[in-house]
């Protein structure tokens, strides 16, 4: 495999709501929630933001870092479970807004929280096959959690965009390999025309998240003959703060390897954006030669694992767009009633 990341960008909305603010509404103990989920606050989209606007901002940042002519992007895939339209692609909005139209292919993906990494794999294949010069994969969501559901504490908004191309001078990181593990496991779903997802409670843990993330990680390490010690960073899908730390421990990764890419405590679960933003956070810090493990997870269920090695070009491109930390630190807190207004739970 001879493909890599040419550019990347993220976007996280400015608004945050604290766990305490949500807990107050439902009579929950905020400390128990914060310890149980390892989440302090989550991002909230503004009233004029949706998955398309988030995807566009992330994509524009990726183009800035890549420093390429967007007309050379031959494919755009936007993975999300909150596409603004049920029928009509988000990807065309992104393509138009980054001036990549019209000579490209585009489509929307859905695979719960891993639709973004599925897009990366599609781009890798198309680049490797010589079908396209560059492909862009985006994972973005304005995640839905029903009021009062534990998901409400974590369901957040954000997105990450990656431009994939052949390894060369512009490549900031090489993708050494990818491995997927997929079964039919209904741990979390949203039926057609329903506003909020349902989930299997504790069933989302062992037979779902852990089984798939561990299997994909093991598969990739085995195939590439690597061990946890070979990696500087490890990023796992982060529905909460706790799951990725548990899975890291089970695989033999240390907190030092995981913490730089663990954003849930400050941002919440950005669903399709989650592992994408985690990878971006690792790339924001990585030195040339650093190896990064990324394992996404999408309910339903499947995991995509990647091994990525940072290259020299990363240093020069890092500051061409806003970093994950900049987005995390630029925040404004809102109360629950403003949150309800922004999320259109208050209908006029």
Partner 1 sequence: MAVPRFWREIPSRYNLIGSRCGNCNKVMFPPRHICPHCRRIGKLEPYKLKPRGKVVSYAITHVAANGFEDQVPYVLAIVELEDGPRLTTQITDCDPAEVKIGDEVEIVFRRMGEEGEDGVLYYGYKGKLVKP
Which positions touch partner 1 (CB under 8 A)? 13-15, 46-50, 52-53, 56-57, 60, 84-85, 88, 93, 96-97, 99, 330, 332, 341, 344, 348
Nearer to partner 1, 16 or 34 (CB): 16
Residue with Cβ nearer partner 1 (65 or 237): 65
Residue 81 annotated in active site: yes
Chain centroid to CA 36: 22
Contact 11, 64 (CB under 8 A): no
Residues 303, 243: Cα–Cα separation, whole Å:
14
Q: Compute the least distance from the CB of residue 270 to partner 1, in Å.
A: 17
Least separation in angstroms between residue 60's CB and partner 1 is 8
111 DSSP assignment: B
Q: In whole angstroms, how close is the CB of 93 to partner 1 at the nearest point?
A: 6
What is the Cα–Cα distance from 85 to 216, expressed in whole angstroms? 31
Nearer to partner 1, 10 or 37 (CB): 10
**Residue entry with tokens 């400390």:** 31
**Residue 275: CB minimum distance to partner 1, A:** 24
Q: From the candidates 40, 49, 113, 123, which is the catalytic residue?
A: 113
The residue among 85 and 312 lying less far from partner 1, judged by its C-beta, is 85
Sheet (strand 134-142) strand order: 105-109, 73-79, 134-142, 157-166, 3-11, 173-185, 300-310, 291-295, 233-236
Q: Which is nearer to partner 1, 47 or 186 (CB)?
A: 47
- Closer by beta carbon to partner 1, 13 or else 278: 13
For the bound state, the minimum distance from the C-beta of residue 348 to partner 1, rounded and expressed in Å, comes to 6
Q: How far apart are the C-alpha atoms of 9 and 26, rounded to whole Å?
A: 36
Could you give the C-alpha distances from 307 to 16, 254, 266, 278, in angstroms and in order?
32, 17, 25, 14
CA distances from residue 172 to 55, 190, 233, 288, 316 in whole angstroms, order as listed: 21, 37, 16, 9, 9
d(CA 32, CA 30): 5
Active-site option among 41, 57, 81, 152: 81
- Least distance (Å) between residue 20 CB and partner 1: 21
Contacts for 209 with CB less than 8 Å, ≥ 6 apart: 187, 237, 239, 243, 247, 297, 301
Q: Is 237 a catalytic residue?
A: yes
CA atoms within 13 A on the CB side of 75: 22
Catalytic annotation present for 315: no
Residues forming the active site: 81, 113, 237
């Amino acid at each position: 495999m001879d493909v890599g990341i040419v550019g990347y960008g993220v976007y996280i909305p400015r608004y945050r709501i604290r766990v305490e603010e949500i807990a107050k509404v439902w009579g929950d103990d905020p400390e128990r929630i914060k310890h149980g989920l390892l989440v302090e606050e989550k991002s909230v989209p503004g009233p004029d933001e949706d998955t398309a606007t988030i995807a566009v901002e992330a994509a524009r940042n990726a183009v800035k870092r890549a420093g390429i002519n967007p007309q050379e992007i031959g494919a755009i895939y936007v993975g999300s479970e909150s596409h603004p339209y049920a029928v009509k692609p988000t990807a065309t909005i992104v393509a138009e807004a980054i001036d990549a139209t019209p000579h490209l292919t585009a489509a929307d993906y859905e695979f719960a929280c891993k639709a973004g990494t599925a897009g990366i794999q599609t781009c890798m294949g198309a680049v490797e096959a010589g079908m396209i010069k560059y492909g862009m994969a985006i994972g973005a969501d304005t995640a839905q959690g029903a009021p009062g559901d534990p998901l409400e504490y974590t369901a957040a908004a954000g997105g990450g965009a990656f431009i994939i191309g052949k390894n060369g001078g512009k490549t900031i990181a090489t993708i050494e390999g990818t491995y997927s593990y997929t079964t039919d496991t209904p741990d979390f779903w949203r039926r057609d025309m329903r506003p909020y997802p349902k989930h299997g409670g504790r069933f989302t843990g062992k037979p779902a998240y852990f089984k798939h993330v561990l299997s994909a990680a093991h598969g990739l390490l085995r195939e590439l003959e690597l061990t946890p010690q070979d990696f500087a960073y490890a990023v796992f899908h982060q529905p909460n703060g706790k799951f990725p730390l548990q899975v890291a421990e089970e695989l033999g990764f240390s907190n030092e390897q995981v913490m730089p890419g663990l954003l849930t405590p400050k941002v919440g679960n950005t669903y399709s954006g989650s592992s994408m933003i985690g990878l971006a956070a690792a790339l924001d810090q990585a030195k040339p030669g650093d190896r990064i493990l990324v394992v996404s997870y999408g309910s339903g269920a499947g995991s995509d694992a990647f091994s990525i090695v940072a290259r020299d070009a990363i240093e020069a491109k890092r500051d061409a767009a806003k970093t994950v930390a900049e987005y995390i630190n630029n925040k404004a807190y809102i109360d629950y009633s403003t949150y309800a207004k922004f999320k259109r739970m208050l209908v006029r």
